[in-house]
Amino acid sequence: MNRIGFVGAIARVFVWSFLLGLVLVVLYPLLWMVLNGFKTNAELFGNPFALPLQFGWQNYVDAWNRGVSDYLTASVLVTITSTITTVFISAWAAYGLTRVRMPFGRTISGIILGGLMLAPAVALVPLVRMFQAMGLYNTFWALLILYTAFRIPFTTFLIRSYMIDLPREVDEAAEVDGASRWTAFWLIILPMCRPIIISTILLHVLFAWNEYLFAMVFTSGTTIQTLPVGLTSLMSKHGTDYPVVFAGMVVAALPVIVLFFVSQRHFVKGLAEGMGK
Amino acid sequence: MFAQRTTTPSEARSGASYRLPPTVTEAVVTVPRSRRPRPRGNRSRLSRIAGLAWVLPALVVLGVFVYLPLVQNFVFSTQESDIYTGTQQFVGLANYEKLLGDPIFWSAFGNNVLYAVLSIVFQVGGALILAAMIESLRSSRWRKALRAIYFIPSAISLTVAGLLFYFIYEPNLGLLNHLLSTVGLGGLAQPWLGQESTAMVSIIAMSQWQGFGYCTLLFAVAIQRIPSELYEAASLDGIGSVGRFFHITVPLVREMTGLMMIITISGAFQVFNEVMVMTSGGPNNSTQVLASWLYRSGFVRNDFGYAAAIATVLFIVTMIVALAQLWYTRRRRVEF
């Protein structure tokens, strides 16, 4: 049944105009961004409300050739590799924390989940020195390591809270059947955690694709700049050729928007789990 | 308060998702409890130590790249160092003294506070009202569509959103000034990011645009968990929609409200991306926040010790907020 019952017609009109007005506030800037990616510089400075005179891909080609291809490659590479490392290390940890008896179990769980509380910026200065000393500053490895390290607590937290609710009998049955811990993890527990694994993968992809602080501080060379940092260099390097910047922004924004719409359900679930427990 | 209810629709739903594959359930049924082996003796101590292997990768990565730098940061904050010459010397609390006397540090701190306050009003308060409005709609298709549309800005990066609003605020080609003159308010047109009086508020406004959909989505999830009978009973008693919002929705989502406030405050003190993209802390350092001032001190002015001292302040603030969160989530939960 409906939750609100009989609302005055005026209130209804107010609610609807407010909600739809907000839709406009959200969508129009995004539409403007997409349209500007098709304009020439003269059109852009002429009338900001006007539609592009023609829809060509020249700005996209220019953006691609001015570094966006490299930024995109770096973003895809960092996102995929750090997702794999983060999710596996976290799933192992979550399994260990929920299923395996070990010395200092509670302390270990506190250390891993305690990382949730720490702000990345706090560790910035020492991390730069550490990576310079290790020769990893300005390399792909810096981002892979940092994205993994700083997302393990959150990812472990999500997977752990799901694993806790899985019935114990499953493990014991596997043990009776002679399965080792290792086999039980891969063949039984991990497949059962599929829903939360999908959610954590999505949340990590969103994080890694959009991350800025580490990407900016740890990668200043073009070949390993990710899109968020690359866009700002596109902006500063090429003066006022703004339509190309808009094209680059669309390239950065589109994949995650599509990903969100394709997998909305898992997204919402992951977010709600992350907040709720 | 509503403890007499034992099952809610959401519980019923989550229960269904734990259905096991048929083979596993059969296995469970066929093993009687008494025949299950129990770990014992020396073998079990050995296997307990072996169990550490599961958490070892996480512990090593966190230890080296999260906790070690955290400790090092305190050490660095007592040193004066130069990244190029590599010299560093112990200076005690000199960096902290410098911090307390630095007007830009205080204005940066104030900007973080302003960020937190405005975000709580608009992103938490506003999102709660918005979520209640959405969930009161009859059409489930519209509810779904609105939640998704409002979330789009949260999916794109702050860099893209920041650049987009940099252009929207831009005096020559920007949407905002053109919009104002179109509706006859041309007198209000101004260089939004270019003057001290409006720059910070403009950045915060962008951040509300980017983040409100995320909060709305989470509030919507919380509101959906409230049994609809409560609303129906209240309607029958003649309580209007505003009354139902204040007497049912607000008290029953308070857990989510508390969490959101804590997360919003913590986020407000870590702001970096949008400031760097839109103003880099200018004009005249008026939009510096703690993180951007840390970055500028450490990596532009090469004053690593001073940057580390700012990081310590950031650590203390986020720690207080995190402990508040821990305390809050440990309290008794709202039960229906």
**pLDDT of amino acid B84:** 61
Domain that holds residue A266: 64-276
Is B44 a member of any domain? no
For residues B231-242, average pLDDT: 87
Could you tell me the pLDDT band of residue B5, with boundaries at 50, 70 and 90?
Answer: very low
Is A163 a member of any domain? yes
Is B128 a member of any domain? yes
With beta carbons under 8 A apart, name residues in chain B contacting A124. Answer: 294-295, 298, 307, 311
Is B318 a member of any domain? yes
Could you tell me the pLDDT band of residue B11, with boundaries at 50, 70 and 90?
Answer: very low
Tell me, what CATH number does B154's domain have?
1.10.3720.10
Domain that holds residue B146: 102-161+210-330
**Interatomic CA distance for residues A214 and A224, integer angstroms:** 12
Contact B61 A1 (CB under 8 A): no
**pLDDT of amino acid B80:** 84
**pLDDT of amino acid A6:** 54
Percent of chain A with pLDDT over 70: 95
What are the b/e assignments for A50-59, b being 16+ CB within 10 Å? eebeeeeeeb
Is A154 a member of any domain? yes
Q: Nearest chain B Cα to A274, which residue?
A: B218
Tell me, what CATH number does A214's domain have?
1.10.3720.10
**pLDDT of amino acid B335:** 64
Inter-chain contacts counted by CB atoms under 8 A, chains A and B: 315
**pLDDT of amino acid A272:** 77
What would the pLDDT profile of B246-266 be if each residue is shown by its tens digit? 999 999 998 888 888 888 999
**pLDDT value at A45 more than 90:** no
Is B150 a member of any domain? yes
Pairing mode of beta strands B88-90, B79-81: antiparallel
Residue A27, min C-alpha distance to chain B (Å) = 8
Alpha helices in B86-245 (DSSP H): 94-100, 103-119, 127-135, 140-155, 158-169, 175-182, 196-224, 228-236, 241-244
Could you tell me the pLDDT band of residue B24, with boundaries at 50, 70 and 90?
Answer: very low
State the virtual CA torsion across A9, A12, A13, A15 in degrees, nearest 10.
160
Residue A86 burial class via C-beta count within 10 angstroms: exposed 0-12, middle 13-18, buried 19 and up: buried
**Interatomic CA distance for residues A97 and A92, integer angstroms:** 9
**pLDDT value at B39 more than 70:** no
**Interatomic CA distance for residues A168 and B275, integer angstroms:** 49
Contact B276 A33 (CB under 8 A): no
Residue A59, min C-alpha distance to chain B (Å) = 17
Is A203 a member of any domain? yes
With beta carbons under 8 A apart, name residues in chain B contacting A277. Answer: 329
Looking at the structure of chain A, the number of domains it has is 1
Interface of B with A in 32-71 (CB under 8 A): 35-37, 39, 44, 47-49, 51-55, 57-59, 61-70
Looking at the structure of chain B, the number of domains it has is 1
Interface confidence (ipTM) of the complex: 0.90
What would the pLDDT profile of B311-332 be if each residue is shown by its tens digit? 999 999 999 988 887 887 777 5
**pLDDT value at A73 more than 90:** yes
Contact B153 A26 (CB under 8 A): yes
Return the number of other C-beta atoms located less than 10 Å from residue B283's C-beta.
14
What would the pLDDT profile of A228-243 be if each residue is shown by its tens digit? 999 988 888 777 789 9
Is A161 a member of any domain? yes
**Interatomic CA distance for residues A186 and A180, integer angstroms:** 10
Q: Nearest chain B Cα to A20, which residue?
A: B146
**pLDDT value at B274 more than 60:** yes
- By the CB < 8 Å criterion, does B31 face chain A? yes
- Please state which of the ranges A251-260, B170-179, B309-318 shows the lowest mean pLDDT: B170-179
Is B72 a member of any domain? no
Q: Which residue among A92, A245, A260 places its CB closest to the CB of B57?
A: A92
The C-alpha R_g of chain A, in whole angstroms, comes to 24
